[in-house]
Amino acid sequence: MPMPLTVLQVLPALISGGVERGTLEIAGAVVRAGGRALVASAGGPLVGPLERLGARHVTLPLATKNPLAILRNAGRLAALIRAEGVRIIHARSRAPAWSALLAARRTGAHFVTTYHGTYNENVPGKRRYNAVMAQGERVIAISSFIAGHIRERHGTEPGRIRVIPRGVDTALFDPALVSPARLAALRGAWNLPASRPVIMLPGRLTRWKGQGVLVEAMARLPDATAVLVGGGARYQAVLEARIAELGLADRVRLVGHAEDMPAALLLADIVVHASTDPEAFGRTVIEAQAMARPVIAADLGAPRETVQQGITGWRVTPGDPAALAALLRQVLDLPAAARAAVGAAARAHVLQAYTTAAMQAATLDVYRELA
One domain for residues 80 and 51: yes
pLDDT per residue, tens digit, the chain (371 aa), is: 566 899 999 999 999 888 999 999 999 999 999 999 999 999 999 999 999 999 999 999 999 999 999 999 999 999 999 999 999 999 999 999 999 999 999 999 999 999 999 888 878 888 899 999 999 999 999 999 999 999 999 999 999 999 999 999 999 999 999 999 999 999 999 999 989 999 999 999 999 999 999 999 999 999 999 999 999 889 999 999 999 999 999 999 999 999 999 999 999 999 999 999 999 999 999 999 999 999 999 999 999 999 999 999 999 999 999 999 999 999 999 999 999 999 999 999 999 999 999 999 999 999 999 98
The whole domain housing 288 covers 175-353
Angstrom distance (rounded) from CA 56 to CA 347: 34
- Total count of residues recorded for the chain: 371
One domain for residues 255 and 281: yes
Please check whether residue 14 lies inside any domain of the structure.
yes
One domain for residues 126 and 212: no
Angstrom distance (rounded) from CA 178 to CA 175: 6
Instruction: Tell me what pLDDT residue 2 has.
Output: 61
Looking at the DSSP bridge assignments, the partners of residue 38 are 8, 56
Is 70 in a helix, a strand, or coil? helix
One domain for residues 359 and 338: no
One domain for residues 245 and 161: no
Instruction: Tell me what pLDDT residue 354 has.
Output: 97
Angstrom distance (rounded) from CA 12 to CA 247: 42
Closest CA to 367 of 102, 86, 147: 86
Cα dihedral 46, 50, 56, 59 in deg (nearest 10): -10
One domain for residues 42 and 154: yes
Instruction: Tell me what pLDDT residue 313 has.
Output: 98
Instruction: Tell me what pLDDT residue 164 has.
Output: 98
Please check whether residue 1 lies inside any domain of the structure.
no
One domain for residues 359 and 343: no
Angstrom distance (rounded) from CA 330 to CA 327: 5
One domain for residues 359 and 210: no
One domain for residues 197 and 130: no
Identity at 191, one-letter amino acid code:
N
Please check whether residue 338 lies inside any domain of the structure.
yes
One domain for residues 273 and 347: yes
The CA-based angle 331-336-338, given to 5 degrees, is 70
The number of domains in the chain is 2
Please check whether residue 325 lies inside any domain of the structure.
yes
Cβ atoms of 364 and 165 closer than 8 Å: no
Q: What is the DSSP string of 68-99?
A: HHHHHHHHHHHHHHHHHT--EEEE-SHHHHHH
Say which CATH number the domain at 327 has: 3.40.50.2000
Order across the sheet with 295-298: list the strands: 252-256, 225-229, 198-202, 270-273, 295-298, 314-316
Angstrom distance (rounded) from CA 80 to CA 109: 11
One domain for residues 263 and 300: yes
One domain for residues 264 and 159: no
